[in-house]
A and B are shown apart, each in its own frame.
Chain A
Amino acid sequence: MSLFAFNRKLASFLLLFLGTQAAMAQTPPPATDEPELVEFDTAKTRSIAVPALVAPSPVDTPAGNSAALGRQIAEVISSNLRASGVFETQGPNGLRAIGLAEVTAPQFGYWKSRPVEQLVQGFVRVGGDGNLTVGCYLYDVGFGSETTRLGFNVPPRDWRRAAHKCADAIYSRLTGELPFFDSRIAYIAESGPKNKRIKRLAIMDSDGANHRFITNGQSTALTPRFSPNYKSILYLSYVDGNPRIYVYDIDAGRQRLITQSNGPTFAPRWSPDGQTILYSMAISGNTDVYKISASGNGTPVKLTSSPGIDVGGSFSPDGRQIVFESDRSGSQQIYVMNADGSNQRRISFGGGRYATPEWSPRGDLIAFTRIAGDFRVGTMRPDGSGERLLTNSWQDEAPTWAPNGRVIQFFRTAKGSGKTSIWQVDLTGSNERQLPTPVDGSDPAWGPVLP
């Protein structure tokens, strides 16, 4: 059964209300005109202890014993929070086991002496229907008070989602940012020699877990993009010998061309509502940006007409604008236009070439690849101001945004060998880390928070 049995099981993924406290309210993001990054200041990282979740009267489940799951869930929460770059975490390894009574009555004195500022405790129960109930509590150790509590009811195989949801709630509560851990990545798994690379479409959780290959590598696959509802993936395949964009239906395991064409189609993107597909097509060597209905019935609409290469593109979160790349000035630069193709204007002026613009889901920033000698990933505001380079390596390329617009993934190519790997960095450029993938990885594309 596919991992995306997820989608059909969502109905059973209930948010439970524990006790009398209301579920955490979504904290609104700060004003978007000034992308201030105070909360990402690494000097202000907060320390959190995450002891293993308690499993009262442990039982075996299809995903393992509930006591083991309690520890694994704590490990995922701890690892998620640490990887965000905002927190230092302790546990579950190295922390003492806690009892069930302690979950709702923490020993604040003990935790103060560790010392930690925040404490995450919880439990895992197995219900009569075989599903897990995961309770998750966040405490402020200094104040000696409960900050929030959440509960999730999940089939045992979805225990990681409960962990991601818990980590998301804690992250949001403590940073004021929107959640992002409970999301998935589509990317290209690479293997083989540099001149005969095998490139397979693959998907995984945002932390690299639950990995699955989708294509078998017989034909080269490139540049995937998850649909906003995670039901399908847009990607480029050479399956018929020519580069063409297909929509792959994950549950059905089938794909179709997005449009019949004589020329190559590439650089596919979804609109935020999933109704429109943006793509690039070359006719007689001249590449322009087009859009077409995702239903498969529409007629392509040509959005650009410069005699150069107009390619790629990414919708603003409100769907009204598109940022894309063009070499009409003589070199690759970033342009913004209205979604109907009007009012095209250049926004990148920092010197060198600029490529692969991606609009943040928050709307406040555009991520890009800057080519000036080496390839570096950076961000700028939609008007081109406030440029900030986040990475510094030989070839970092193709940023993709976390659903909350506060973390970026990209891929790094090694000089000489051509080996690729997927990396993650926060908006300060610190907390850079490699994602674990079974083979080399490129072209990451981060989906939204899971429905």
Chain B
Amino acid sequence: MTKKTIKMAALLLVSTALVAGCGKKKVETLPPAAEGTDYGQTPTDPNAMGAGQIMPGSQEDFLQQVGQFGDRILFETDRFNIDAEDQAILRRQAQWLAQYPGTRITVEGHADERGTRDYNLALGERRANSAKNFLVSIGVDASRIQTVSYGKERPSALGSDEQAWAQNRRAVTVTVR
């Protein structure tokens, strides 16, 4: 399996997991929602997502508007480039940001566990900056975007396999209140 295929498989997996999460069925491979800093990555209570309950411009609104897992882009091992899929995701984020020009964001860069600690901090920062640079290139004011790297400290998927690692090599956009 090529790295590209793995990445696409990971995207597919998170989409599948999401669909399963919203429905009744449980999927064995459903990654638990990361806690802590990734607070916005998945709605914890699907009922709270009902119409009329989401404040426009909020993190919940952002997540709903960009679509599930539209808050993040994934990377191949040791890579930090923005490919066509990533661009599409970031464009949706930029569209939302254009609606709420007063909202600022933090892009959180992450690496998988199969790297050394210091290098992964550098790599996470590089990935966050890649996402930031693309957002800036399509018109988002750079002063609205902060970056932070968590290296391998905050995995989203908890396994020690290619699929988990593919989900963890990510840059996640989080709105700042």
B17 contacts chain A at the CB level, 8 A cutoff: no
Chain B: interface residue count, which band? 20 to 34
* Complex Cα–Cα for A199 and B156 (A): 17
- Chain B residues within 8 Å of A216, by CB: none
Return B108 CB to nearest CB of chain A, in Å: 11
B172 contacts chain A at the CB level, 8 A cutoff: no
A285 touches B121 (CB 8 A): no
Contact of A287 among B125, B127, B130 (CB under 8 A): B125
Contact of B118 among A195, A263, A356, A413 (CB under 8 A): A356
Residue on B with the closest CB to A288?
Answer: B122
B155 contacts chain A at the CB level, 8 A cutoff: yes
* Complex Cα–Cα for A195 and B128 (A): 19
- Chain A residues within 8 Å of B32, by CB: 195
Contact of A222 among B114, B119, B122, B153 (CB under 8 A): B153
A309 touches B123 (CB 8 A): yes
B71 contacts chain A at the CB level, 8 A cutoff: no
Contact of B117 among A194, A327, A397 (CB under 8 A): A397
- Chain A residues within 8 Å of B160, by CB: 415-416, 418
A285 touches B128 (CB 8 A): yes
B35 contacts chain A at the CB level, 8 A cutoff: yes
Instruction: Report B100-145 residues with CB < 8 Å from chain A CB.
Output: 113-119, 121-123, 125-130, 133
B7 contacts chain A at the CB level, 8 A cutoff: no
* Complex Cα–Cα for A358 and B125 (A): 23
A264 touches B113 (CB 8 A): no
A264 touches B153 (CB 8 A): no
Instruction: Report B69-93 residues with CB < 8 Å from chain A CB.
Output: 78, 80
Return A259 CB to nearest CB of chain B, in Å: 16
A residues neighboring B (CB under 8 Å) = 193-197, 199, 220, 222-223, 236, 241-243, 263-264, 266-267, 280, 282, 284-287, 309, 311-312, 325, 327, 331-332, 355-356, 369, 371, 375, 395, 397-398, 413, 415-416, 418, 443
In the complex, 9 of the A-B residue pairs with CB atoms within 8 angstroms, ordered by the A residue number, are A195-B34, A195-B154, A195-B155, A242-B148, A264-B148, A282-B125, A285-B133, A356-B118, A418-B155
Name 11 extra pairs, CB < 8 A, besides A236-B121, A285-B133: A195-B32, A195-B35, A195-B155, A199-B153, A282-B129, A285-B80, A285-B127, A285-B147, A371-B114, A418-B113, A418-B155
**Chain A to chain B: the 8 pairs with minimum beta-carbon distance, closest first:** A285-B129, A287-B122, A267-B118, A355-B116, A282-B125, A285-B126, A309-B122, A415-B160
